[in-house]
Structure formats: structure tokens, C-alpha cells
Amino acid sequence: MSMSEHRKGMLSIRVWDFPTRLFHWSLVLLVSFSGITGEFGDDFGAQVLDWHARSGYAILTLLLFRLMWGFVGGTHARFRNFLRAPQTVIAYLRELRQAPQSRLRPGHNPLGGWSVAAMLTCLALQVGTGLFLTNDDLGFEGPLARHIGSHLADQLKALHAANFIVLLILIALHLFAIGFYYFSKGENLLRPMLTGDMPVAEGAVDAPSKGGHTLLGAAVMAIGAALAWFIVTRL
């Protein structure tokens, strides 16, 4: 539990464990790389698709890690602590409209929690469809492509392209939301995702994140990598 002096009358509490932050910023880099190599791959040639796929396998590893981390990670990384009932989301939206400045709480807010779930699901669909794709012109064959026929392959290719647009929209909403909290509510969500810590008023009842140790994160990441390796090379 890390509590430290922040400003006068303010304390800092741990909100995002290190593995969650490493997950996030790795995801940002890899998804950007995958998006660019996917969209412009044709212009660069065959090798780029190989790197597009490798980046996808790394994203698969991250997603498998995040799935497990949602059960064994630090407090605010756990699904049961941020996937809230619809009534809670609606109540939160009301509060958001009324209060000029909502109180910053540790962890994802009730709406943000579902947006995280949406992004993770969308990414899983993107990687999942990618594994089945081929590109004959560039001599590329995805690791699971041999299991399906050409008709289904064409449909999955279209889904891969369409779902990418959905992903871009979710990312745009994600960035818009972070900007909204910063400019309209005076809440800086970015700093906790960088440093792990968030300022809270002294005497506030907010619980700091517990657990989520880096060593456990490394072990869970290793399991994720092993599962991804199995899916890519053994299925």
C-alpha cells in the first residue's frame, strides 16, 4: 500500500499496478503498429504483413494476460471491481450531468469500465479474425487459415477490415472521454496511468489498490505468452 505526501491536505494512493500500466502502454504501441501495417501493408510489401502478424501475436499475449489479470491482478484491475450493474452506470451518468466537478475515484468509473470491456472484446475479435487470414498476392498465410474454407476466409477478411473501423471509433471515444474529464471535470486520468498513483483528499475513504505485484504480473504474462504460442503454432 503506497501512501505518500502529495500536496497540502492531499494524499496519493496507488490506483494502477505496474503490470496494468505496462499492459496499457504496450497495447497502445502494438495496436498503432498493427493498424498502420494493416492499413498500408500493401504499399510496403510482403515482409510488412509478417510483422503485422507478429505484432498481432504480441497483442494476443497481452489480451490473454489481461483476461487473467482481471481475476488475479490489483484491486482496480479486477473485472468484478469495474464491471458494474446497468443501474449503477445510469446513476453515474446522471451524477455526471449534474455535478460540475465529479469526485475522482480510484479505478475505472462505471461507464469507463464497460468501455474497457468493449475495447478488449473488439481487440480480441480483431486478432481472432486475423489468425485466419491469407493474402495470396503477398504470400501470407495466417496460422489458423488452413482450418477454414475460402468463403469463410473472405467473410473473416471483411470482418477484420470492418471491425478495425469499430476499433478506431472506440479508441476515439476513449481519447475523447479522457479529454472530457480533463477539460470539463478537471480530472487528470492520464497521470495515474503513467505513474500508478492518484491524488485523493485527506480522510477520503478510497481504498488504494492492493495486490497486483510485478512478479505475479510477470508470471501471468508468461502464461499468456505460452498460451499465445500454443494457439499460433500448435492449433
Interface with ligand HEM by CB under 6 A: which residues? 20, 23-24, 27-28, 31-32, 34-35, 38-39, 49, 52-53, 56, 59, 66, 77, 108, 112, 116, 119-120, 123, 126-127, 130-131, 133, 135, 140, 142, 157, 160-161, 164, 171, 174-175, 178, 189-190, 193
Nearer to ligand HEM, 8 or 186 (CB): 186
| Cα three-residue angle 55-57-59, rounded to 5 degrees | 70
Least Cβ distance, residue 221 to ligand HEM (angstroms): 13
Least Cβ distance, residue 234 to ligand HEM (angstroms): 15
Least Cβ distance, residue 203 to ligand HEM (angstroms): 22
Nearer to ligand HEM, 12 or 164 (CB): 164
CA distances from 58 to 18, 22, 86, 127, 187 (A): 18, 13, 33, 10, 32
- Cβ-contact 61, 67 below 8 angstroms: no
Least Cβ distance, residue 51 to ligand HEM (angstroms): 10
Nearer to ligand HEM, 35 or 199 (CB): 35
Which H or E run includes 174?
helix 150-185
Least Cβ distance, residue 171 to ligand HEM (angstroms): 5
Which of helix, strand or coil describes residue 149?
coil
Nearer to ligand HEM, 8 or 23 (CB): 23
Least Cβ distance, residue 80 to ligand HEM (angstroms): 13
Task: Look at residues 123, 118, 8 and name the one whose alpha carbon lies nearest to residue 60.
Answer: 123
Nearer to ligand HEM, 28 or 169 (CB): 28
Residues 6+ apart with CB under 8 A from 174: 115, 119
Name all contacts of 227-230 with Cβ < 8 Å and 24+ positions apart: 227/61, 227/64, 228/57, 228/60, 228/61, 228/64
Task: Look at residues 59, 67, 171 and name the one whose alpha carbon lies nearest to residue 126.
Answer: 59
Nearer to ligand HEM, 8 or 121 (CB): 121
